[in-house]
Structure 1
Amino acid sequence: MKILYGVQGTGNGHIARARAMSQALRRYDVSVDFLFSGRNKHKYFSMEEFGDYQTRRGFTFLTHEGKVDYLKTGMNNSVPTFLSEINQLDLSDYEVVVNDFEPISAWAAKKQNVPCVSISHQNAFRFSVPQKNANWLDRQLIKNFAPSDFQLGLHWYHFDQPILPPIVHISSDLVDNLAYVIVYLPFENQHAIVSLLTRFHNHQFVCYHPNNVEQVQIDNIIMKPLCHQTFQADLHRCDGVIANGGFELPSEALTLGKKLLVKPLEGQFEQQSNAATLESLGLAKSMDFLDASIVREWLDLKQAEKVTYPCVASGIAEWLVAGNWHCSEKLQQSLWERVDFPSYASV
């Protein structure tokens, strides 16, 4: 089986899931090529896992100081380029397209009648799961941004819906809590983050940000450039995580038993929904802006307990290679049966 795996490159969470799926698929007699879109090629990092991967411009959103900038987003995206990239992508060598909310490969598969299997957190919003501030356009984007024939949705809890637990790409046997907090708020102003964290002189922070070009120390903060390997090492050793409202990093933090504080991107319903869901499940705290009072309260909280998730990537890989994509009920049941939540979770 030859697979083209399309990955939305705007956020690192999609890439983390693809990294886990790449390793899981290696156990089978399949050939996988990767295509990423939504980010300039030179801004990808730690991509050795994906071999000779392809990139496309695709569609993405732009932000400014923690908010989606709709004007800049509209001006930055080119419909003619998007259509051209779809028309130029030849899928004749592939038996199936696997897709994580990546529009070029999805639309090319639709046009060329190649089966498309979608694996993403966004697919969970096709069902009755908690949503916050979702409008008609948001719902249309979820359904039509990257169309597919078969969908697997991922979420932290099943909500009695036909979805799966998260794909978590970590090695949980390396956990060693040290007295620092890892901070990853890529959509926030770098100086605003520093201004917030330096208020808490008795706490140590390790802050990753796209604008960090080298490692430097500012008072109680170590600023580090983006790197998958060093980020994972720091994530395993920290005792807490402050992150945006994405899906993959909170999933990793929950699996490692790190207490979690999330600040969702304003104007992005998925992140707003994620933050509200984590709070309602009792798995994290959230803040609507860089709120020092909430950070102070959160820092005083005791250490979290782990959420135990099975190896979802392995289960999906086996299901995918078997080829019976119409039926995923057994996969759903077998995976959720192995999930264990902390005693304080509201599930």
Structure 2
Amino acid sequence: LIPEDIDVDTWTLTIDGESVKQEKTYTLSELKSKFKHHTYQLTLECGGNGRSEFDPPAKGNQWTVGAVYCASWTGVRLRDVLEDVGIKDDAVYFGYHSADTHLSRDPTKEPISRGAPMSKALQDETLLAFKMNGEEIPLVHGYPLRVIAGGWPASVSGKWLQRISIRNIVHDGTKMTGTAYRVPCKPVAPGEKVADEDMCIIESMPVKSLITYPKSGAVLSKNKKLSIRGHAWAGELEVAKMEYSIDFGATWHHCTIDKPANRLAWQHFSADISFPQEGYYEVWAKATDSNGVSQPMLLPGWNPKGYLNNACHRIAVKIA
């Protein structure tokens, strides 16, 4: 549940854990005044974006394609704060702790407490953010302070941040163990039971793209070109190539794709498409990352929680 009665004047962030040299607490004003501010556009995508396409169905929000956004975030680098605190050599993971309340309203239960390896914590773009798109972060998005770790499942970017623990083990907070935000370490058959110890934590999100214009179902007159546009992203990597197909993937044509505003930002693509004759078409979009890995045309492989569906997005078009 979203926290209520937030008082920014008394809000603090504590850095603790087995692998800090000394626990330290900062007020919001201290964080903002003591450390340099940085602004990045950072892509956050739910690990279960596209879950609705899995068969057998997976439990959870039945996302289609919309659980992704690339806002501009302003804050201080987590790395700078950790350097001020002092981190021991045995640090391997960070975990966040927030002010939201468990659905049961039991104060002893954390709704979610996830994190990432120290290598992610120490990246330039990993922020303790207090602004979103140049304004105070909206309450639903984590006001007044939030971790932002772009390119990884958005659940790593904890909202309503009050405490960060630096761990000498892989963080074992709520939604870090069992099947939460994990996929089978090896391919499994649809519907197969997978033991918890055979599930691996999701880190960098896979290459993916989304046609944002026009909406599916567009009707176009004959001999008129269709201008499409959209976004593409690739977790920790960059999108190197963007293509479209109007013949169900038999042939592919290049799109224009912009460079990202900064690392971990999504990229904009566009193309002008001509259709050979009247009739029904589907426009498919396919991104390829900087390692040469492309989106699959179909669901990439079943997993128990319905994560990481990066199949090609497609829209229907009728030429009248």
TM-score band by shorter chain is under 0.3
Q: Provide TM-score, normalisation by structure 1.
A: 0.26
Q: Which has the higher contact order (CA 8 A, sep 6+)?
A: 2
Structure with the higher fraction of residues in helix conformation: 1
Structure with the higher fraction of residues in strand conformation: 2
Higher gyration radius (CA): 2
